[in-house]
Amino acid sequence: MAELVQTAPAIGIALDNGRLSDAEAAAIHADGGDEPYYRERLAGKTMIVFN
């Protein structure tokens, strides 16, 4: 989990004290498959939320 938290900013996931906000999760979901690193961001979001 620590590695994911460290990597999150590099793929465009903004965390607040290591936690994903509802607004950031919604933004990742709304981006769609055309955005850079969408799959990586979606996978990262899933791992952060369910950990």
Domain residue limits at 45 = 2-49
pTM of the model: 0.65
Residue scoring higher pLDDT (49 or 23) = 23
Q: What is the mean pLDDT of residues 5-17?
A: 85
pLDDT band at 24; cut points 50, 70, 90: confident
Do residues 41 and 15 make contact, with C-beta atoms less than 8 angstroms apart?
A: no
The pLDDT tens digits of the residues spanning 27-46 come to: 888 877 777 888 888 888 88
pLDDT band at 50; cut points 50, 70, 90: low
Give the C-alpha distances (Å, rounded to integers) separating 32 from 25, 27, 37, 41: 12, 9, 10, 10
Q: What is the mean pLDDT of residues 2-6?
A: 83
Structural domains in the chain (count): 1
